[in-house]
Amino acid sequence: MKKYTYSAKESDNAGKWYVIDAQGLVLGRLASKIAHRIRGKHNPLFTPHVDTGDNIVVVNADKIVLTGRKMDQKKYYRHSGYTGGLTTTTARELMAKKPEDVIRFAVKGMLPKNRLGKKLIKKLKVYTGSDHPHAAQQPEVLEF
């Protein structure tokens, strides 16, 4: 009897779509569950080097919760490439300008830092309001 470990292929992934309402959810807990789904770790066919995850649509991104004093103490950094070009933004400022990016950055930090991670982050769609343009994919509601 031949025993081997099955390695999933890209074509084995069904790629379901899910909608998550982020209203009142804590950022880190939400991001970790989203990353788990996007990576495909819930799937019995999970293979580390293959995309076996689902597509996630997050609505009401502007209504997430950060615990403690993270709104003022958590900082996001970006660099222009020039000397002294480091720019810092607090979570409060980012929530006021682009609340979608707060969730996107949190999930991106939990995905692999390679070509697969760049491909996986594209499966996350984040919107501030309760409407999204992905009704044609017939996404299922995912409750946490």
Residues of the domain holding 131? 15-69+99-141
Q: Mapping DSSP to helix (H, G, I), strand (E, B) and coil, where does residue 62 land?
A: helix
Tell me how far the alpha carbon of residue 142 is from its chain's centroid. 14
| Residue 2 pLDDT exceeds 80 | no
Question: Tell me: the pLDDT tens digits for 45-67?
Answer: 999 999 999 999 999 999 999 99
Domain count, the chain: 1
Question: Tell me: the pLDDT tens digits for 14-44?
Answer: 889 999 999 999 999 999 999 999 999 999 9
CA angle (17 as vertex; 105, 31 as ends), nearest 5:
25
Distance between CA 36 and CA 83 in Å, rounded?
37
User: Does pTM top 0.85 for this prediction?
Assistant: yes
Q: Mapping DSSP to helix (H, G, I), strand (E, B) and coil, where does residue 125 land?
A: strand
Residue 49 lies in a domain: yes
Q: What is the pLDDT of residue 1?
A: 65
Residue 112 lies in a domain: yes
Residue 76 lies in a domain: no
Distance between CA 13 and CA 45 in Å, rounded?
8
Residue 42 lies in a domain: yes
Dihedral over alpha carbons 5, 121, 72, 79 (to 10 degrees)? 110
Residue 104 lies in a domain: yes
| Residue 143 pLDDT exceeds 80 | yes
**Domain holding 42: CATH number?**
3.90.1180.10
Residue 121 lies in a domain: yes
Question: Tell me: the pLDDT tens digits for 100-118?
Answer: 999 999 999 999 999 999 9
Q: What is the pLDDT of residue 4?
A: 83
What mean pLDDT comes out for the span 68-83? 98
State the amino acid at position 53 in one-letter form. G
What the block records as the tokens of 138 is 């017939």
What the block records as the tokens of 124 is 């996350």
Distance between CA 108 and CA 27 in Å, rounded?
13
Residue 107 lies in a domain: yes
